């Protein structure tokens, strides 16, 4: 599915729609340049999962966990490149504990192999406020 967003509020709403569909143990892999709106999208995912916590970027913490009926585990992979980097963050300990969301998924090429099912979300800057958001679902068989 491809969506157009013209504000951060619309990006949050699109994320919220996807959040309502998420099941435990799936992942959302986010792709997009700096300032594309990835964290706003995650705010929407949290709302869709019924999480009312203030979602912030895990840039310095590397991971933020938000408790809900289904937990949301939010990773920033900006400084990651390898499975060893993921291991050092405790990434693999979080698998199976809720929905895992990864910003900067393009930095770790093996990431898509870590999940049975995941959504790939590409957020492309079209203009100052305009975004194209492409969401695809994948299941390994």
pTM over 0.85: yes
> How confident is residue 23, by pLDDT bands cut at 50, 70 and 90?
very high
pLDDT in tens, 35-81: 999 999 999 999 999 998 888 887 767 889 999 999 999 998 888 88
Q: Give every strand in the sheet of 131-139, ordered side by side.
A: 2-5, 131-139, 117-125, 27-31, 99-103, 72-76, 63-66
pLDDT at 73: 96
What value does the CA radius of gyration of the chain take, rounded to a whole number of Å? 14
Q: Bridge-partner residues for 65, per DSSP?
A: 73
């Amino acid at each position: 599915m491809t969506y157009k967003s013209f504000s951060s509020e619309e990006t949050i709403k699109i994320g919220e729609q996807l959040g309502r569909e998420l099941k435990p143990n799936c992942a959302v892999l986010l792709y997009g340049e700096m300032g594309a709106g990835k964290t706003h999208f995650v705010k929407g995912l949290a709302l869709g999962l019924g999480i009312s916590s203030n979602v912030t970027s895990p840039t310095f913490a590397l991971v933020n966990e938000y408790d809900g009926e289904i937990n949301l585990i939010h990773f920033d992979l900006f400084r990651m490149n390898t499975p060893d980097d993921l291991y050092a963050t405790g990434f693999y300990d979080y698998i199976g504990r809720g929905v895992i969301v990864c910003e900067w998924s393009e930095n770790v090429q093996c990431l898509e192999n870590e999940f049975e099912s995941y959504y790939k979300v590409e957020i492309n800057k079209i203009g100052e406020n305009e975004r194209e958001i492409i969401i695809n679902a994948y299941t390994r068989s």
